[in-house]
Chains A and B, each alone.
Chain A
Amino acid sequence: MSASDDRHAGLNLGKTDTETDDAASSDVFGFWMFLMSDAVLFALMFATYGVMLPATAGGPTPASEYKITPTFIETLVLLTSSLTYGMASVSMKHGAHIRRVLGWMAVTLALGLMFLAMELHDFSDMFSHGAYPTRSGYLSAFFGLVPLHGLHVAIGSLWIVAMMAQLLVFGTDPRVKINLLRLGLFWHFLDIVWIAIFSTVYLPGLIR
């Protein structure tokens, strides 16, 4: 493996566009740093959630509020959207027609919005049981953590729209390529965070 192959492994332009790949080196690395910072944000919200889990104040508990079916479907939807974004990255990298890139991104966007719609439905369901964030420390922590991920997905979706517009205006110029790499990192990062939410918030909540 040469030096340029293992640089920001996974998502890169490699030898398909060495000039942009060089320029991407520090841009994409900077985005990794941002993601690390963002990861600290989530880590602290997870820790807060863990500490506040017993603080139900006589109100709704995880076992009474979490439902496996919708959250499992949400997981599948989001994971699939990562796959479709990966397809967009690969088609961009290997110079496929711009329509193909746009197509995969549109699918990703649709899946992202579907995830958000399902999540909002979950929340309104919880609200209808009186599980408001103002009800207890536990619910505050839940609504501090899970919607924070949702907010990230919403921002990611807005970003996808902006990038689709840029693809239409500029085609795959170096800036668009680099930003698609960064968007990819962001989108896959949200997947990882969601897996953590699914396995440390929803699954243990159902056991109890």
Chain B
Amino acid sequence: MSAPLLPAVFGRFGWHDLPFVRAWENPTINELIGAGAGGMVVAGAVFVAVLLTVTGRWRWLWSEWLTSLDHKKIGIMYVVIAFVMLARALVEANLMRLQQAVAIDAPGIVAPDHFAELFSTHGSIMIFFMAMPFLTGIINYLVPLQIGARDVAFPLLNAIGLWLTGSGAALMMISLVIGKFSTGGWSGYPPYTEIGFNPGVGPDYWIWAVTLGSIASTLTGINIAVTIYKMRCPGMQLMRMQMFCWTSLCTAILMVFAMPPLTVATLLLALDRYLGFHFFTNALGGNMMNYANLFWMFGHPEVYIVILPAFGVYSEVVSTFSGKALYGYVSLVIATMAIAVLSFTVWLHHFFTMGQSPSINAAFGIATMTIGVPTGVKIYNWIWTMFRGEVRFSTPLLYSLAFMMTFVLGGLTGIILAFPPLDYVVHNTLFLVAHFHNMLIPGTLYGMIAAYTFWFPKAFGFRLNETWGRIACGCWVVGFYLAFMPLYVLGAAGMPRRTQAVMETVYRPWLYAAEVGAVILFCGLGALFVQLWVSIRHRNANRVFAGDPWDGRGLEWSTSAPPPEYNFAHLPHVEQRYAFYDDKRKYAPYARPPHYDDIEMPKNSAVAPIIGIASAAAGFALVWYMWWLAILGTLVIVATVIARSFVRDTEKVISADEVRRTEDRWLTAVEQARPIPREIESTSANQGLAEART
């Protein structure tokens, strides 16, 4: 590496930390790929900035979105982050598949440490900056609407969580342009990530990006749990909530209890790296097993943090598109809670091979198999919900069906891995990689895309294009099987995971198949973007302003699409589960209320952007040893929090007149809309008013 440039200001940064400089001096394919990736980040940022300037939308972006405390807008921004990061991590996945396919008895296109960066960023992004923001966004958008509330319990904290997540994601992106990322995998095991083996900036990028994401998720967990416990509308007893609220509640509780172990693990690693502590080092009494335990005490509940919300989505989708109430609601609630509790009892199965006694392994193996039981209950619930239902094979339902088949397969291989003796055989092979992708792609990604497709009309007021949705779904399903089933074979044949070069030529056909699968998965993402583009262009033909395009059950469908800022002009009173579904059939949910009241909503606030930018700056400064900036960033955060506590003018009032105008416009549209039978709900005839068929 080159000498640092002005160390007092720029810390340990030198020109050779720029991939462009490295590629200029040493134009190998490996360096060019690195420079190309960095260039794409810079070009993307410049493109967005130019676009905003040309269209004159900076002020709009700032006042309508970035400073907004509206839970719906915050939810949408989370999903935007998730899609951007999904695109990057999917490109990396394709690069890895390509490398392994061409590096059979050959060097391939990326160097070993670059390959290690790829699998580290791919994993870290997919978990912390794709899955987490995606599910947090969906929860944020839906939970207040589903429980009949106007906002979350702590709107500002919500925005701060968004901005901290954004800061972490920004650090991930910056690591492509300045310096290098960690080579230690998404789990960042020391002592390999300790300063002795890895003195560069990579592990520090990982530490601070993940820490920011972890703190953000803790805050989100607190917020969502309090919202569900305290903000439900009159009559909304816990057992009357939509299933998605239950899974969100369990996820929120898991976040509150399972994110701190991650924070502890990353911060102790930071103490080791920055101040020379000996928590996880090889020498002087350090013990890396503590790290393994801490990390997986987070890591296993995390699996359920990302999967439970998807379970909630499937429950909503399957029941809506089968035209039936969810089968076995109570058993689903109990199963969800059981999973949430059991998820804390199985963490050790992530390191069966790391030296415990057989009896400890056996205990955790049995606990692991136990967790399959409530999950199995859920699968039966969904199947029975569809049984004799009036099933419409819409895109979200197709994802749900693909999920049920695929997830059961992944569960079976999970049971194999839960046997410690069998785990010893396939540990650290591609079998494991195949297994967890087999759980997380159907268990999280399909669910999130299904949620995006299902609730998009609610959030934006028009339906997504059905054809492109189906094409995308086909790509995600076919691509998944092609990309990951071969990995089971390769893993069982002994191919280790995280391998940059392959010496065994018999692996070739399987690696080729997996490469094709990766390309098809990428087409799936492409199809989603095409779908979005096509849908925006044809939005006027597909408007569902009346707000209930699928004959929905929950309260979120009882408002206009998109809902007004205050969600509900009058807080709903519910008497039973699926109150809106029943209202449509027995009463008049769209009756004009005799009067409206003023509504207080939180004012926009610049606090969250300031904290977000300051924390990103502090994290970046810590990575590069720019101490002045780290101190400055921290002081800005503290000062902002204290200054905000002196602000009393935090609420604005939406006048009763304005509420009346908004509601009248919507109710008039509802009166003019034609009730739509389910059979033609995916045509332009759908204006968002469902025919109330009994």
Residues of chain A touching chain B, judged by Cβ–Cβ distance below 8 Å, are 25-27, 29-30, 33-34, 36-38, 40-41, 44-45, 48, 51-52, 55-57, 59, 133-141, 143-144, 158, 162, 165-166, 169-170, 173, 175, 179
List the A residue with the shortest CB-CB distance to B222: A33
A37 touches B256 (CB 8 A): yes
Across the interface, A29 reaches (CB within 8 A) one of B226, B259, B264, namely B226
Instruction: Find out whether the CB atom of A33 lies under 8 angstroms from the CB atom of B648.
Output: no
For the complex, give the distance between the alpha carbons of A74 and B297 in Å.
33
**A33 partner, pick from B226, B272, B285, beta carbons under 8 A:** B226
Identify which of B70-78, B86-94, B273-281, B521-529 touches chain A.
Answer: B273-281
A51 / chain B contacts, CB cutoff of 8 Å: 287, 290
State whether the Cβ of B367 lies closer than 8 Å to any Cβ in chain A. no
* Chain B: minimal CB distance from A136 (Å): 5
User: What per-residue 1/0 map shows which CB atoms of B266-307 lie under 8 Å from chain A?
Assistant: 001001100111110001111100100010010000000000
Q: Contact between A143 and B277 (Cβ–Cβ < 8 Å)?
A: yes
Tell me if B101 is interfacial: C-beta within 8 Å of chain A: no
**Does the CB pair B256–A36 fall under 8 Å?**
yes
- Is the CB–CB distance between B256 and A144 below 8 Å? no
B263 touches A (CB below 8 Å) = yes
Given A37-B256, A44-B294 in contact, is the A140-B264 Cβ separation under 8 Å? no
Partner of A37, one of B222, B275, B279, B290: B222
**Does B218 count as interface, using CB distance less than 8 angstroms?**
yes
State whether B225 touches A33 (Cβ < 8 A). yes
Interfacial chain A residues near B272, Cβ < 8 Å: 140
A55 proximity list for chain B (CB < 8 A): 278, 284-287
Contact: B646 with A169, CB < 8 Å?
A: yes
For the complex, give the distance between the alpha carbons of A59 and B286 in Å: 13
Contacts of B257 in A (CB 8 A): 36-37, 40
* In the complex, B230 has a CB within 8 A of chain A: yes
| Pick from B222, B230, B285, B638: contact of A137, CB under 8 Å | B285
The residue on A at minimum CB distance from B226 is: A30
Given the known interface contacts A30-B223, A144-B268, the answer about A37 and B230 at a Cβ–Cβ threshold of 8 Å is no
Q: Choose among A37, A48, A162 the residue that contacts B268 (Cβ–Cβ < 8 A).
A: A48
Chain B residue with the shortest CB-CB distance to A133 = B277
Given the interface contacts A48-B279, A133-B275, A137-B285, does A26 sit within 8 Å of B646 by beta carbon?
A: no
B154 at the interface (CB under 8 A from A): yes
Shortest CB distance A142–B (Å): 10
Partner of A166, one of B271, B294, B645: B645
Question: Residues of B contacting A140 with CB < 8 Å?
Answer: 271-272, 277-279, 285-286
Q: Is the CB of A37 within 8 A of B260?
A: yes
Residue of B225, B226, B285 touching A56 (CB-CB under 8 A): B285
| CB of A88, distance to nearest CB on chain B (Å) | 17
Give the complex CA separation of A45 and B279 in angstroms: 11
Is the CB–CB distance between A26 and B226 below 8 Å?
yes
Chain A CB within 8 A of B176 CB: no
| Bound form: Cα–Cα A50–B428 in Å | 30
B39 to chain A, nearest CB (A): 40
The answer to whether A41 touches B260 (Cβ under 8 A) is yes
B153 interfacial by beta-carbon distance below 8 Å: yes
Main secondary structure of the interface of B (DSSP, over half): helix
B221-253 vs A: 1/0 string, CB under 8 Å?
111011001110000000000000000000000
* Alpha-carbon separation in the docked complex, A40 to B344 (Å): 13
How many A-B residue pairs have C-beta atoms within 8 angstroms? Tell me.
Answer: 111
Q: How far is the CB of B497 from chain A (nearest CB, A)?
A: 28
Q: Which residues of A contact B268 (CB under 8 A)?
A: 48, 144
Asked if A136 and B285 sit within 8 Å, CB to CB, the answer is yes
Q: How far is the CA of A29 from the CA of B271 in the complex (A)?
A: 32
Contacts of A29 in B (CB 8 A): 226, 229-230
A29–B225 CA distance with the chains assembled, in angstroms: 10
Q: Does B261 contact A (CB under 8 A)?
A: yes
Output the nearest chain A residue to B264 by Cβ-Cβ distance. A44
Contact present for A45 and B645 (CB under 8 Å) = no
Q: How large is the interface on B (under 10, 10 to 19, 20 to 34, 35 or more residues)?
A: 35 or more
Among the interface residues A40, A55, A173, which one has the most CB atoms of the partner chain B within 10 A?
A40
Given contacts A51-B287, A158-B642, 4 further A-B contacts (CB under 8 A): A29-B226, A48-B279, A136-B284, A162-B642
| Complex Cα gap A52–B278 (Å) | 10
Given the complex of chains A and B, what is the CA–CA distance between A179 and B271 in angstroms?
Answer: 32
Task: Give, as a whole number of angstroms, the nearest-CB distance from B154 to chain A.
Answer: 6
Could you tell me the distance between the alpha carbons of A136 and B294 in the complex, rounded to whole angstroms?
20
User: Which residues of chain A are within 8 angstroms of B263 by Cβ–Cβ distance?
Assistant: 41
Q: Considering the chains assembled together, what is the distance between the CA atoms of A59 and B218 in angstroms?
A: 37
Min C-beta distance of B251 to chain A, whole Å: 14
Chain B 400-423 near chain A by CB (<8 Å), digits 1 or 0: 000000000000000000000000
User: How far, in Å, is A57 (CB) from chain B's closest CB?
Assistant: 4
Please state if A52 and B285 are interface contacts (CB–CB under 8 Å): yes
Contact B264 A137 (CB under 8 A): no
Residues of A within 8 A of B276 (CB): 133-134
Docked Cα-Cα span, A30 to B156, in Å, equals 13
Chain A residues near B223 (CB, 8 Å)? 30
Q: Using CB atoms, name the residue of chain A closest to B230.
A: A26
Given A26-B226, A26-B231, A30-B223, are A144 and B645 neighbors across the interface (CB < 8 Å)? Answer: no
A173-B648 contact, Cβ under 8 Å, with A26-B153, A48-B268, A137-B279:
yes
Complex Cα spacing A155 to B174, Å: 31
Contacts of B287 in A (CB 8 A): 51-52, 55, 137
Are A166 and B277 in contact, with the CB atoms below 8 A? Answer: no
User: Measured between alpha carbons, how far is A164 from B230 in the docked complex, in Å?
Assistant: 29
How far, in whole Å, are A55 and B153 apart by their CA atoms in the complex? 45
Closest CB pairs A-B (n = 6): A137-B285, A55-B285, A26-B230, A140-B277, A40-B260, A134-B276
- Per the bound structure, the CA–CA distance linking A91 and B276 in Å amounts to 47
Determine which of B230, B261, B286 lies in contact with A44 in the assembled complex, contact meaning CB atoms within 8 Å: B261
Whose C-beta in chain A lies nearest to the C-beta of B253? A33
Q: List 13 A-B contacts (CB under 8 A).
A: A30-B222, A38-B260, A44-B297, A48-B290, A55-B284, A57-B285, A134-B275, A134-B276, A137-B279, A138-B285, A139-B278, A140-B285, A158-B638
Residues of A within 8 A of B642 (CB): 158, 162
Query: A162 to B642, alpha carbons, bound, how many Å?
Result: 7
Tell me, rounded to whole Å, the shortest Cβ–Cβ distance linking B147 to chain A. Answer: 13
- Kindly identify, within residues 137 to 196 of chain B, every residue whose CB is under 8 Å from any CB belonging to chain A: 153-154
Residues 596-617 of B, flagged 1 when their CB comes within 8 A of A and 0 if not, give 0000000000000000000000
B648/A175 in contact, CB under 8 A: yes
CA distance A33 to B648 in the complex (A): 24
Give the residue among A59, A136, A170 with the most B Cβ atoms within 10 A: A136
Provide the bound-state CA to CA distance between A44 and B520, in Å: 43
Cα distance, A96 to B276, chains bound together (Å): 51
A202 to B261, CA, bound (A): 24
Chain B residues, Cβ within 8 Å of A137: 278-279, 284-287
Assess the B271–A144 pair: CB atoms within 8 A.
yes
Determine if A25 and B279 form an interchain contact, defined as CB atoms under 8 angstroms apart: no
Alpha-carbon distance between A115 and B592 when the two chains are bound, in angstroms: 63
Whether A37 contacts B218 in the complex (CB less than 8 A), given A26-B226, A29-B229, comes out as yes
Contact of A135 with B222 in the complex, beta carbons under 8 Å: no
Say how far A43's CB is from chain B's closest CB, in angstroms. 9
CB-nearest residue of chain B to A41: B260
Most buried by A among B153, B222, B272, B294: B222
CB of A29, distance to nearest CB on chain B (Å):
6
Give the Cβ gap from B631 to chain A, nearest Cβ, in Å: 16
Interfacial chain A residues near B154, Cβ < 8 Å:
30
